[in-house]
Amino acid sequence: MKDISKSINKVDNEEKISGKAKYVADYTMDGMLYAMTKRSSIAKGEIVNIEYPDLPKGYFIVNHKDVQGKNIIKMIFEDWPVFTEKNISYLYEPIMLVIGPEKSVLVDIIEHIKITYKEEKPIFAWTDSVIDYHFDKGHGNRIFDDADEIIEHTYETGYQEQAYIEPQGFIGYPEGDKTTLVGSIQCPYYVKNAVIQALGEKDENVRVIQANVGGAFGGKEEYPSLIGCQLAVAVKKIKKPIKLIFEREEDMLVTTKRHPSKTVFKAAIKNNQIIGLKAHVSIDAGATIGLSGVVLSRALLAVSGAYTIDHLDVSGDVYRTNTVPNGAFRGFGAPQMFFAVDMFIEHIAKSLNFDPLEFRENLLVKQGDRTSTNGLFREPVLMPNMIKKVIDESDYKNKIKQYSQKGNFKGIGMSLFFHGCGFTGSGEKNIIKAKVRLKKTKDGKVHILVAAVDMGQGIKTTFRKLIAHMLELDIEEVVFNNPDTDFVPDSGPTVASRTMMIVGGLLARAAKEMKSRWKEVTFTVEKEYEQPDYIKYDELHFIGDAYPAYSWGVNIVEVEVDPVTYQVYIKKSWSVYDVGKAIDEKIVLGQADGGLAQGLAYGYLEVMNHKDGKIMQKNMTDYIIPTAMDMGEMETYLFDNPYAYGPYGAKGVGELPLIGGPAAVAKAIESAINKNIYKIPVTPEYIMELMNND
Amino acid sequence: MVESHIAKTLEDALKTLNSGKFRIVAGGTDMLIQNRSHTGMPIGYKDNVVYINLINELDYIKEDEDNVYIGATTRLETILKSENAPKILKNIIHEMAGPGIRHTATLAGNIANASPAGDSLVGLYVLDASIKCQSVDNTRIVKIKDFIQGVRKIDLKSNEMITEVMIPKYDFSRFVFKKVAPRLSDAISKLSFVGAIRIEDNEVKDLRMALGAVYMTVLRKEDIESKYIGQSIGELKNNIELIIEDYNSFIKPIDDQRSNKEYRKQVALNLIKDFIMKS
Amino acid sequence: MTEIKFKLNGKEQTLNTDPNRRLLDVLREDFKLTGSKEGCGEGECGACSVLLNKQIVNSCSVPLANVDGQDIVTIEGFSKTKEYQVIKDSFATAGGVQCGFCTPGMIIATQSLLNTKPRPNDYEIKIGLSGNLCRCTGYNLIIKSVKLAAKDGDGLW
């Protein structure tokens, strides 16, 4: 049988290249209306009064009074109203939809809605802690009593915007008693369940269909539930098709971003070795808590990075501020922490006068080591060989020596990292309870029925390939359409690097059974998630195995810094990843390139900040993502390390390649300018500051 | 509702401009951004517009012994590919915009837009370019530094349009264009710099420097430049601290969403220094 | 209302409409040519790229007035050509497509590049793609796709 990793032509290449693939903005329907959003013009306060202009015939206002169910979005922590009723907690908070056939009229109506507020002083400082976590490993803080030296540094990370090229949007329409939404979404059932709650409707009266998704990266995980609910309320009231598509500026001003963070690290040093770490992580939730607690968890769990440290004292806070809500973004807290910890370990090595590479290699996680929460790294850890491979390919050792000489402004940096695959803790078992179905039809075709979304990561191809491979069918005999909740079971959201490992794993189990019953003409196999026995996690106390498996990575990046303008040029990067087993090599390499580009750019390029709660970089001109000119050549190697519960051994892929980017590029810049770096993005402005301190 | 007129001849355009208040649209890229409305809605011009993009008679690059002449509807891409256009200008165009914009936008449009961060303006200041403004009854030629009066303020009467950009020919021993932008293409400059020098027999015969996005308009100080003309190249380099001192008080950048004033100022001075010391 | 005539994907078209409309809206709404996408609406991302007189332009930044008498080819029209077949195959083979939203624009940018530089080097490829943003691929495999197209289609441009 062929090696499953061998690449095939992606099944959606043809429709995407030819421009035939339909995205949500491409749909129109007879009698369709448009929706636009009236938003708050203050960051904090109360609505005192709203004056409406006379609405022309055929135009509507939809607000909190129209919400027949709960005026709150269903998600992990429920504190987002569908429409704000009274209290404003961030600038541009949605207050109502204005709906009608002509956009120019909508713009006019929105301009003439006069809202009076009672303004309050907004809070932007990190003072209002809404979640705080703490856990110890080993002796916790007590280890510091044994220290003969303590090293302390603080690391900061900024906002990052997902900057999917396709902005958010839905089209909604009534089908009899049913309210149907078609949208650019990662999680059809998140939207469906949120709409059920907002409409107070029966399950069968809400239908959610995924349109082709033009990039998501976490940005279309929970945010679409908000606008999906708003639109569903409108459709149910007006009983006509309505389209709600964000334009770029609106998208960038109001949708969720990566949480800015600050990590205060202390290391207890004895006999020139790290004996323990203490860390406190602060993240900015923005105006609502939403997923922030889980983001903080993932950051805290990665506290010791790819290294084993026996004694840890770990704590963190989620702070609420009167700014745009932050949420899911590829990596989900891990990129913030891996930047901080990988820099910290390097800085410790430097200040103890050790070779940072040797120092780090000695601390590396080995199979059988304890995780930060006293779980076990059960699977083989290939990091030593992976590091060797990437060092050889990049000539790292020679270069780091050569570049350390003052005045050549070249630099090279290396990051070591992992990603816990799938949901944190017992989320899969307790919350998601994924279900998948395979259906064999009379014509001998096999239909994949899952709610997983192809947002570019290639799941349409890899799922069909997986099933075709297992059932020894031609890929054309396997059918997988964009999920429609009327036809597919809830296999969970397309997030957390879980899709191939968890959903694909369930599909593989279903395919195995289907194969054994193949002579039956038509039948359906359903499988439900069963947690591997070894996973026992105490979420309250942070004890046990937080993840079923880990993917691993090493990035090396080479840069040049212009000493006149302090600009950074990425020359080349080398990466090695262990994702268990690639279901399609080229697709994994595509994920690797794209993830690294986002990670590098997060580390040196992408600046976003707010002024009095207003995002300053509100378009693609001012928010800088890389162009083809900015990314150097990327070389990537994959190491096989099959995981028993993943299909053909596959583990998580999607988030991993972003995580090491920031530390790798920051270290490369450190090596070019011979200064320690404590925050990202490492902008030319920051480099100038550092270089001025000579 | 605003009136719009598509002119296909210069005469038609000038007559239209003479008949009322019109904004001029050439390639339209900047005008679009300044007058954006919403997807599916017409561009939200606040005044009447006259489109001049299709006036073929203004799509040219000509030269004589002393000057290069670029017509008002000539695309940036045409200039980039032209044999005649000054090399400094071509270098700038190469970096200032992606292919899609280069095929659409015009140099005259760039000038009329009068953005302090406009890269092409920095080159035109150094090249001592002049602007030809025409109305139905008058033609006048204005130096670029006089034409640009402030942020988005230009010396153009309501019945006039730019019809041509005139660029005197020079031979420089060395010139440098540096666009300092947040990324390597497709971005608005944090600041930009053009330096040009002519050295003969070890003597500075001509020296010009201009900076974009460090002041309300492009910054070029001919009085400072002239102080150093006639010096030997060695003297020039020895005077670097004086030169920096000379420019220091004139560089007055701002903080914005793209960068801060400290960075802009220090890098501006670094670029001057780097240019002089490498000459 | 103004009468605007132009050639669209090889066919003469006449519209009586507001010349201040954006070419992108006219293509998507009046002609249902939805292969050109709106990603940013200000000429930055290139998802709306079309060929105007064989050269790439951002259709979101082109007022319809400027199209009068010109020749427009969208991805739908371009997909009928031999050059398209080569570019399509190379993007598929090299893995240049992920979410697909930037892809039609990238294809147009590739055609516009190869049309002027049939054998581009890496730097020229990057310049040719520099007005088209992609958030999925990091450009690595797109650049390889363009290289492959130039190689496989050698002689075609």
CATH of the domain at B118: 3.30.465.10
Q: Give me the helix-helix angle, A334-351 and A356-363, nearest 10°.
A: 120
Residues from chain B that touch A104, judged by Cβ atoms under 8 A, are 37, 41
Q: Enumerate neighbours of B (3 or more CB pairs within 8 A).
A: A, C
Binary contact (C135, A248; C-beta < 8 A): no
B112: its two tokens: 């009329």
pLDDT of A128 reads 97
Chain-wide mean pLDDT for chain C? 98
Which residues, in sequence order, are CB contacts of B34 under 8 Å at separation 6+? Answer: none
CB of A7 less than 8 A from some CB of C: yes
C71 and C96 assigned to the same domain: no
C74 and C89 assigned to the same domain: no
C98 and C52 assigned to the same domain: no
Distance set, CA A469 to CA A385, A436, A476, A676 (Å): 30, 18, 12, 50
B32 and B152 assigned to the same domain: yes
Last residue of a domain, one of B140, B168, B196: B168
Residue C108 falls within a domain, yes or no?
yes
Last residue of a domain, one of A216, A245, A274: A245
A41: its two tokens: 């013009």
Q: What number is the average pLDDT over the span B134-161?
A: 97
B164 and B254 assigned to the same domain: no
> What are the start-end ranges of the E strands in A324-425?
410-421
Select from B155, B262, B252, B271 the least CA-distant residue to B213. B252
Q: Is A194 exposed, middle or buried (0-12, 13-18, 19+ CB in 10 A)?
A: buried
Residues from chain C that touch B100, judged by Cβ atoms under 8 A, are 43, 46, 49, 56-58, 61, 109, 131-132
Look at residue A526 and give its three-state secondary structure. Answer: strand
Say which of C19, C22, C127 has its CB closest to residue B4: C19
B41 and B164 assigned to the same domain: yes
CA C49 to chain B, closest CA, distance in angstroms equals 7
Amino acid at B18: N
CA A630 to chain C, closest CA, distance in angstroms equals 9
Q: How far apart are CA A539 and CA A431, in angstroms?
A: 13
Last residue of a domain, one of C50, C78, C106: C78
Residue A535 falls within a domain, yes or no?
no
| Number of domains chain C contains | 2
- Nearest Cα residue in chain C from B185: C130
Last residue of a domain, one of C20, C48, C78: C78
CATH of the domain at C62: 3.10.20.30
Q: Give every residue of chain A whose pLDDT is below 70, as ranges.
A: 1
B31 and B154 assigned to the same domain: yes
B161 and B189 assigned to the same domain: no
C62 and C91 assigned to the same domain: no
B43 and B131 assigned to the same domain: yes
Cβ atoms of A156 and A262 closer than 8 Å:
yes
Q: How far apart are CA A423 and CA A295, in angstroms?
A: 11
Q: How far apart are CA A261 and CA A283, in angstroms?
A: 4
Provide the pairing of β-strand A446-449 with A478-479: parallel
Binary contact (C99, A629; C-beta < 8 A): no
A508 and A584 assigned to the same domain: no
Show which residues on chain C lie within 8 Å of chain B, measured between beta carbons. Answer: 2, 18-22, 25, 29, 38, 41-44, 46, 49, 52, 55-58, 60-63, 65-66, 68-69, 109, 112-113, 126-128, 130-133
Residues from chain B that touch A622, judged by Cβ atoms under 8 A, are 188, 257-258
Residues 618-637 of A with CB under 8 A from C: 619-621, 625-629, 631, 633-634
Kindly report whether the global pTM for this prediction surpasses the value 0.90. Answer: yes
C68 and C100 assigned to the same domain: no
Domain extent, residue C148, equals 82-152
CB pairs under 8 A between A and B: 67
Domain extent, residue A311, equals 261-424+543-692
B181 and B164 assigned to the same domain: no
Select from A175, A61, A196 the least CA-distant residue to A115. A61
Binary contact (C76, A596; C-beta < 8 A): no
Last residue of a domain, one of C78, C94, C124: C78
A270 and A380 assigned to the same domain: yes
CB of C111 less than 8 A from some CB of A: no
C87 and C69 assigned to the same domain: no
Say which of C56, C65, C69 has its CB closest to residue B100: C56
- Suggest the residue from C18, C61, C106, C125 to mutate for an interface test with chain B (most B CBs closer than 10 A): C61
A617 and A516 assigned to the same domain: no
Binary contact (C46, B45; C-beta < 8 A): no
CATH of the domain at B226: 3.30.390.50
B37 and B155 assigned to the same domain: yes
pLDDT of A427 reads 87
pLDDT tens for A32-81 read 999 999 999 999 999 999 999 999 999 999 999 999 999 999 999 999 99
Residue C138 falls within a domain, yes or no?
yes
Show which residues on chain B lie within 8 Å of chain C, measured between beta carbons. Answer: 2, 4, 6, 25, 27-29, 32-33, 36, 39-43, 45, 49, 51, 53-54, 77, 94, 97-101, 103-104, 184-186
Residue A143 falls within a domain, yes or no?
no
Which strands form A169-175's sheet, in the order they lie side by side? A60-62, A94-100, A33-39, A242-245, A169-175, A178-183, A206-210
B200 and B78 assigned to the same domain: no
A600 and A488 assigned to the same domain: no
Residues from chain A that touch B267, judged by Cβ atoms under 8 A, are 564-566, 684, 688
pLDDT tens for C47-99 read 999 999 999 999 999 999 999 999 999 999 999 999 999 999 999 999 999 99
- Tally of CB atoms within 10 A around B70: 28
Residue C32 falls within a domain, yes or no?
yes
Last residue of a domain, one of B144, B168, B192: B168
pLDDT tens for A78-126 read 999 999 999 999 999 999 999 999 999 999 999 999 999 999 999 999 9
pLDDT of A694 reads 76
- Tally of CB atoms within 10 A around C94: 20
Q: Is A472 exposed, middle or buried (0-12, 13-18, 19+ CB in 10 A)?
A: exposed
pLDDT tens for B196-247 read 999 999 999 999 999 999 999 999 999 999 999 999 999 999 999 999 999 9
Residues from chain A that touch C87, judged by Cβ atoms under 8 A, are 17
Q: Give me the helix-helix angle, C122-129 and C103-116, nearest 10°.
A: 130
pLDDT of A231 reads 98
CA C94 to chain B, closest CA, distance in angstroms equals 23
Q: What is the ipTM of this complex?
A: 0.99
B163 and B180 assigned to the same domain: no
pLDDT of B138 reads 97
pLDDT tens for C10-56 read 999 999 999 999 999 999 999 999 999 999 999 999 999 999 999 99
| Number of domains chain A contains | 3
Binary contact (B4, C133; C-beta < 8 A): no
Cβ atoms of B236 and B279 closer than 8 Å:
yes
A658 and A593 assigned to the same domain: yes
CA C150 to chain centre: 17
Last residue of a domain, one of A245, A280, A304: A245
Residue A672 falls within a domain, yes or no?
yes
- Nearest Cα residue in chain A from C46: A165
Look at residue A567 and give its three-state secondary structure. Answer: coil
Residues 11-50 of C with CB under 8 A from A: 28, 33-42, 44-45, 47
Residue C157 falls within a domain, yes or no?
no
Residue C90 falls within a domain, yes or no?
yes
Residues 216-275 of A with CB under 8 A from C: 216-217, 247-248
The secondary structure of residue A269, as a DSSP letter, is E
Selected residue with higher pLDDT from A132 and B186 = A132
| Number of domains chain B contains | 2
> What are the start-end ranges of the E strands in A323-445?
410-421, 435-440
A327: its two tokens: 């949420």
Binary contact (C22, B27; C-beta < 8 A): no
Say which of B28, B94, B185 has its CB closest to residue C62: B28
- Suggest the residue from B2, B9, B24, B53 to mutate for an interface test with chain C (most C CBs closer than 10 A): B53
Last residue of a domain, one of A245, A279, A305: A245
Residues from chain C that touch B42, judged by Cβ atoms under 8 A, are 18, 20-22
Q: How far apart are CA A305 and CA A176, in angstroms?
A: 53
A344 and A476 assigned to the same domain: no
A348 and A267 assigned to the same domain: yes
Residue A5 falls within a domain, yes or no?
no
- Nearest Cα residue in chain B from A615: B257
Say which of C44, C60, C62 has its CB closest to residue B186: C44
CA A617 to chain B, closest CA, distance in angstroms equals 6
Say which of A103, A565, A607 has its CB closest to residue B41: A103
CB of A178 less than 8 A from some CB of C: no
B143 and B251 assigned to the same domain: no
A419 and A436 assigned to the same domain: no
pLDDT tens for C95-129 read 999 999 999 999 999 999 999 999 999 999 999 99
pLDDT of B186 reads 86
Binary contact (A16, C76; C-beta < 8 A): no
pLDDT of B204 reads 97
- Tally of CB atoms within 10 A around B238: 11
B148 and B216 assigned to the same domain: no
Say which of B41, B97, B103 has its CB closest to residue C52: B103
CATH of the domain at C118: 1.10.150.120
Residue C73: strand pairing partners: C51
A399 and A436 assigned to the same domain: no
- Nearest Cα residue in chain C from A213: C99
Q: Enumerate neighbours of A (3 or more CB pairs within 8 A).
A: B, C
Residue A470 falls within a domain, yes or no?
yes
Say which of C41, C99, C126 has its CB closest to residue A248: C41
CATH of the domain at A680: 3.30.365.10
C22 and C70 assigned to the same domain: yes
Say which of A247, A566, A621 has its CB closest to residue B38: A247
Domain extent, residue B106, equals 4-168
A178 and A201 assigned to the same domain: yes
- Nearest Cα residue in chain A from B261: A685
A226 and A372 assigned to the same domain: no
Residue A500 falls within a domain, yes or no?
yes
A197 and A58 assigned to the same domain: yes
Residues from chain A that touch C131, judged by Cβ atoms under 8 A, are 627
Residue A141 falls within a domain, yes or no?
no
Last residue of a domain, one of B168, B203, B235: B168
Residue A445 falls within a domain, yes or no?
yes
Alpha helices in chain B (DSSP H): 10-18, 29-34, 76-81, 87-96, 99-102, 107-113, 119-126, 144-147, 222-228, 233-238, 240-248, 261-277
pLDDT of A47 reads 98
Binary contact (C126, A619; C-beta < 8 A): no
The Cα angle at residue A330 between residues A329 and A332, in degrees rounded to 5: 70
pLDDT of A1 reads 63
SS3 content of chain A, % helix, strand, coil (to 5): 30, 25, 45
Cβ atoms of A165 and C134 closer than 8 Å:
yes
C89 and C54 assigned to the same domain: no
